[in-house]
Amino acid sequence: AQSVSQHNHHVILSEAASLELGCNYSYGGTVNLFWYVQYPGQHLQLLLKYFSGDPLVKGIKGFEAEFIKSKFSFNLRKPSVQWSDTAEYFCAVNGLNNNDMRFGAGTRLTVKP
Amino acid sequence: GAVVSQHPSWVICKSGTSVKIECRSLDFQATTMFWYRQFPKQSLMLMATSNEGSKATYEQGVEKDKFLINHASLTLSTLTVTSAHPEDSSFYICSAPDSTDTQYFGPGTRLTVL
C-alpha cells in the first residue's frame, strides 16, 4: 500500500528565510506526486504536481519541488518565504492509474513577520 | 483550475439524526469522487471512493452502513452520515479528479453532532 511521510510537523521561519519541506513516499510503481496547501480557514489548494518529465517542478507562488526517484522523495522548496505562506502543507501521492490519493500528515509552516 | 463545491459548508445536528453532504464538480465531469475526513490539526484520511453508476468502495474501518455514498450523476456525489453521534463530528472533504488526474478539493463541510 502506498504511504507518504512528511518529516517536519511544524516549521517556524522568519520572512525571507529559505524553505524546504521533506516528503518521502512508499509505493510499488509509478506515481503522481502533489503538494497541496491549506491556508487557515480555507480549503486545500494545489501548489504543484509531478506526473512525468522534468523532475524539477515549479508551482504557484514561487514554490518548486524536486522529484528524486532514487530517494523516493518529493521535497518542497521556496527560496524566500513570506508571512502569507503561513499554512499547512500536505504532500500526496497516487498511483499512475489510480486516483486513490494518500496524504502525508502535513507540515505546519509559520512565518514570522 | 477546476472547481468543486460542497454543501452545506457547516451543519449542526442532534445525535441520532442523519445528515447529507453534497459534492459537485462545477465545470467538469467526474466518474469518481473521493470522500475524506479531517480531524483537527491532522491530515486527510480517505474514507471512500464514490463511483458513478456503481457502489462506493470503502476504506478499511469505515462503516458503509453509516456513511452512505451515492454518486447520482457525473457531477454529484452525496455522503449521508446516518444516525450521527458526537464522535462523527469532523470536517468532511470531497475531491474529484479532472481529465489530467489532478484532484481538486471541495471547501469541506464541518459537521458538529450535539
B93 and chain A in contact, CB less than 8 A: yes
Q: Could you read off the pLDDT of A19-35 as tens digits, one per residue?
A: 999 999 998 788 889 99
- Cβ separation A105–B46 shorter than 8 A: no
Which residue bears the cell 502569507? A84
Asked if residue B23 lies in contact with residue B93, where contact means CB atoms within 8 angstroms, the answer is no
Q: Could you read off the pLDDT of B16-55 as tens digits, one per residue?
A: 999 999 999 998 899 999 999 988 777 888 899 999 988 9
Is the model's pLDDT at A86 over the cut of 80? yes
Task: Return the closest-CA partner of residue B35 out of B106, B110, B84, B85.
Answer: B106
- Cβ separation B104–A46 shorter than 8 A: yes
Q: Could you read off the pLDDT of B48-104 as tens digits, one per residue?
A: 999 998 899 998 899 999 999 999 899 999 999 999 999 999 999 999 988 877 888
B97 and chain A in contact, CB less than 8 A: yes
The separation between CA A62 and the C-alpha centre of its own chain, rounded to angstroms, equals 13
Share of chain A above pLDDT 90, in %: 70
* Cα→Cα distances A9→A89, B53, B88, Å: 10, 40, 25
**B58: closest CA of chain A, how far (Å):** 11
The separation between CA B52 and the C-alpha centre of its own chain, rounded to angstroms, equals 14
Q: Which long-range contacts (CB under 8 A, 24 or more apart) does B45-49 make?
A: B45/A103, B46/A100, B46/A101, B46/A102, B47/B79, B49/A99, B49/A100
Is the model's pLDDT at A108 over the cut of 80? yes
A36 and chain B in contact, CB less than 8 A: yes
B49 and chain A in contact, CB less than 8 A: yes
Is the model's pLDDT at A99 over the cut of 90? no
